[in-house]
A and B are shown apart, each in its own frame.
Chain A
Amino acid sequence: MSLLQIRDLAIALPEGADRKYAAQNINFDLDKGEILCIVGESGSGKSMSANAVMGLLPQGVKPVDGTITFDGRPILGLSEKEMLKLRGSRISMIFQEPLSALNPLMRVGAQIAEVFEAHGALTGTERRKRALELLHEVGIPDPDAAIRAYPFQLSGGQRQRVMIAMALALEPDILIADEPTTALDVTTQAQILKLIEDLRQKRGMAVIFITHDFGVVADIADRVIVMQTGKIVESGTADEVLLRPQHPYTRALIDAIPRLTQRKEAEEQTRAPILTVEGLQKTFSTGSGKLFGKRRVVKAGQDVSFELFAGETIGIVGESGSGKSTVGRCLVRLLTPDGGRVMVDGADIAHMSGTELRERRRNLQMIFQDPYSSLNPRARVSRILTEGLIAYGTPKREAQEKARELLELVGLDASAMNRFPHEFSGGQRQRIGIARALALDPKIIIADEAVSALDVSIQAQVLDLLADLKTRLDLSMLFITHDLRVAARICDRIIVMQKGKIVEAGPAGKVLHNPDTEYTQSLLDAIPGQEYERALEGAS
């Protein structure tokens, strides 16, 4: 008998939700030592199904039908007290955003030791010793320091390792990993995936891995379940689902994966550059926490120089902390560079101020990463779109008319004008963000991780939209991303940044397939699902 059996599970949403069930007719088995990937987009019910196993559904959401059998025992409807015994000891869980998943005020060691305490295992000193061993096991550099650290002192990858250490503390039978690598860089993602794979082998632990990234699925899954709007539409072994998908939705998801090979050749650029960045410098310094202590200095931009030609898209790629966003923000003067020049139309905007800057700045507009926090939640779409125009002196009626055109341009209905951002999905919100950026007829768009927060299929749609708009409106674009596959899809040239410096720059094809530096190569190697991509290439 399987370790975990789910039969006819139905999870009801509270009244007034957009549909009745978060998930229904859920059936699957999980064997010891198996990695099962549940794939689907936001709202497909994949997280809800996994949370139901833990008995950790949000308020108002509850299982209404079916059974969950764990180790031969039905666990749906167990008392809270009985569930407490299972959670953390036999079934444990890790989450998407490791920074917010750890208590900011507690030391890492204490948070791990707490798992033993919750289940009455070991004594005080043993708990600490075991916590240290666990940190060793998950490969944290300098575990002796890490155990005394607070979460904010660790990097994203280290935090996720701490989460894994915590989840593994009592050697659970099942690890539920809810998008554990979505918030991480490719290189860190590759390390975490390898860690999970290793631990599975060493401990014979079963893993439910929730993701929307088929590249990750290809690298890690034994079996795959594909979910759409609360239902399982396809399931099978990894090879079956990935190479011979039956359901059109699965096929659509697989088609939507951005691939390195989809890049297009850069055209010869003979036109004059529209944007010239020369020797851009930006240094951040923060207090040391001591009265006369040395300040911490981060060089986020060191002598960054490049040219952007009219109609061209340049991708700036790099890991978090590489300075790519800082460069973008310096260009639109959300940050003031410490040195260097930013030439737009023959004028240096790096050191302009007042009216002059205002006039020039409308030529550069930014699209931000998070479509949830980058739109004012209290403002209707009409205000979001017309604010900039009105600020630059367009009469209100004209601005409204223009806003309607913009909505149509980005594929939204004009009725969106009177609605608030929260009434839209993530993809729709990002379209509003794009419309907002286009409102002032800019020449240059700077997109900072503009699709990173979106599901793959939505990501593909938004990338297509950007490419289309670029040609139609004759825009030039700087596309900042940590995802090389996304860069491959949309960029003509690619700039690779590391620790505030440009380490490599060139045509997309060259950088992605024949890079000059080891750093770029390491970024490329870390992309999940490469073998799978080659298999798909071979098949087609």
Chain B
Amino acid sequence: MVRFILGRLVKAVFILLAILVFNFLLIHAAPGDPAAVMAGEAGAADEKFLADLRQRFGLDQPLYVQLWIYIKGAVQLDLGYSFRQQMPVAELIGDRLPATLLLTGVAFVLSLVLGVVAGVAASARQGSWGDTIISTLALLFYATPLFWVALMAALVFSVWLGWLPGFGYSTIGAGYTGLAHVLDVAKHLVLPATTLGLFFTAIYMRMTRASMLEVSRLDFVKTARAKGLKRRVIQRRHILRNALLPVITLAGLQAGQIFGGAILTETVFAWPGIGRLMFEAINQRDYNVILGVFYISAAMVLLFNLITDVVYVIIDPRIRLTA
């Protein structure tokens, strides 16, 4: 088990390095460089000024040297400097990352739990009106664009009903501490996390439902019935555990999607996470920040995948003992 995890970690490091190089080259394949953008915006696009800027930022070096410097830095979590925000990128991301992790983490857990519970409930009543309602609701959330659900949620629950705050991470200037602060953040979290979570809930629900129905037709379920086990025990112990395997695979794959979804949600709800940071950085062509966000989000996706693999291994002995 430890070896398995170590093996995966080694692989993850290599993948991360490859992503780093790819992103770096991708950005440099685009025409122009930050110096040109900065000089252009400063209204001083003469050759000497440009050359000065390039020398100052090391942009006059050959590409492989720049890459080497960048990788050396990235390994030590030095992701360069944002000239826009006048801050080291690592610090910038470090400030924003907890908010994103909180949002995506809560949305992820929420969607998985809700999705599995709804899927189990729907499959237990296959073809009934309960099943129809659950399936239709899921489809509705899945089919509606995320940003629209976000806007409507903010409009209804924040603007009209005034139940929940519609933007931000905490109440500005309230100066809450301790439990009051936690509750305040939690309140702000409800709308963005639910909006982001509901979209993914639909996917997990449909997967769980289909998987439960498929597993319930397998022979070992009949064996369980022949043993005289109660329906509920069979559902939980025999069907659900087997049915969860594809859901877990899906959840691992969706981890990247949830980061993507977070950009939209954070933008609508003014949630101070890295999604919004990226949105702003792209608008401002803040290359180092973009690269840094790519790097960190790739690392997060890899981490989620690693967790999925480990969970899978814990649940499925066939992989633990043979793979």
Contacts and interface: CB of A to CB of B under 8 A. Distances in A.
Interface of A: 54, 56, 80, 84-89, 92-93, 95, 97, 100-107, 114-115, 118-119, 150, 152-153, 163, 166-167, 286-287, 289-293
B3 A105 contact: no
B227 A88 contact: yes
B236 interface: no
Contact of A118 (B227, B241, B320, B322): B227
Contacts of A106: 237-238
Given A88-B228, A104-B317, A167-B226, 16 more contacts: A56-B226, A92-B226, A100-B220, A101-B219, A101-B220, A101-B223, A102-B220, A103-B224, A104-B316, A105-B242, A106-B238, A115-B227, A118-B229, A150-B318, A152-B317, A166-B223
Contacts of A89: 228
Interface in B227-268: 227-231, 233, 237-238, 241-242
27 contacts: A54-B226, A56-B222, A56-B226, A80-B231, A84-B228, A85-B228, A86-B228, A89-B228, A93-B226, A101-B220, A101-B222, A104-B316, A104-B318, A105-B241, A105-B242, A105-B316, A105-B317, A114-B227, A114-B229, A115-B228, A118-B227, A118-B233, A152-B317, A163-B223, A289-B321, A292-B3, A293-B3
Contact of A150 (B219, B226, B228, B321): B321
A291 B4 contact: yes
A163 B316 CA distance: 21
B31 interface: no
Contacts of A101: 219-220, 222-223
A95 B317 contact: no
Contact of A97 (B7, B219, B316): B219
A87 B228 contact: yes
Contacts of B222: 56, 95, 101
A124 to B, nearest CB: 16
B323 interface: yes
B3 A88 contact: no
Given A95-B223, A104-B242, A105-B242, A289 B320 contact: yes
Interface string B295-323: 00000000000000000000111101111
Contacts of B317: 104-105, 107, 150, 152
A106 B218 CA distance: 15
B225 interface: yes
Nearest to A90: B228
A104 B319 CA distance: 11
B6 interface: yes
Nearest to A91: B226
A232 to B, nearest CB: 24
B223 A105 contact: no
B226 A291 contact: no
Contacts of A56: 222, 225-226
A150 B318 CA distance: 8
5 closest A-B pairs by CB? A88-B228, A291-B3, A87-B228, A88-B227, A100-B219
Contact of B219 (A85, A95, A153, A290): A95
Contacts of A103: 220, 223-224, 238, 242
B230 A287 contact: no
A289 B323 contact: yes
Contacts of B233: 118
Given A103-B220, A105-B242, A105-B315, A87 B226 contact: yes
Contact of A289 (B225, B230, B322): B322
A153 B321 CA distance: 9
Given A97-B219, A105-B242, A152 B226 contact: no
Contacts of A105: 241-242, 315-317
A331 to B, nearest CB: 28
Contacts of A80: 231
Interface string B1-22: 0011011000000000000000
Nearest to A89: B228
Contacts of A293: 3
A287 B312 CA distance: 17
Contacts of B323: 287, 289
Contacts of B4: 289-291
A83 to B, nearest CB: 8
B223 A152 contact: no
B223 A102 contact: yes
A374 to B, nearest CB: 21
A167 B238 CA distance: 17
B123 to A, nearest CB: 14
Nearest to B321: A289
Contact of B228 (A119, A287, A290): A119
Given A104-B242, A290-B3, A291-B6, A118 B220 contact: no
Given A89-B228, A92-B226, A289-B320, A104 B220 contact: yes
A89 B316 CA distance: 30
Interface in B175-227: 218-220, 222-227
A365 B317 CA distance: 38
Contacts of A114: 224, 227, 229, 237
A97 B219 CA distance: 8
A166 B226 CA distance: 10
Contacts of A84: 228-230
Contacts of A93: 223, 226
A174 to B, nearest CB: 12
Instruction: Give the one of B4, B222, B231, B238 with max A CB within 10 A.
Output: B222
A47 B224 CA distance: 18
Given A105-B242, A105-B317, A287 B226 contact: no
A208 B238 CA distance: 27
A158 B323 CA distance: 22
A290 B323 CA distance: 8
A118 B230 contact: yes
Contacts of B6: 291
Contacts of B227: 87-88, 92, 114-115, 118, 166
Contacts of B320: 289
A291 B322 CA distance: 11
Instruction: Give the one of A97, A104, A150 with max B CB within 10 A.
Output: A104
A118 B223 contact: no
A95 B322 CA distance: 26
A3 to B, nearest CB: 18
Contacts of B219: 95, 97, 100-101
A54 B227 CA distance: 10
A517 B318 CA distance: 37
Nearest to B239: A103
A100 to B, nearest CB: 4
B34 to A, nearest CB: 42
A289 B317 CA distance: 11
B128 to A, nearest CB: 14
Nearest to A110: B237
Contacts of A119: 228
Given A102-B223, A289-B321, A118 B7 contact: no
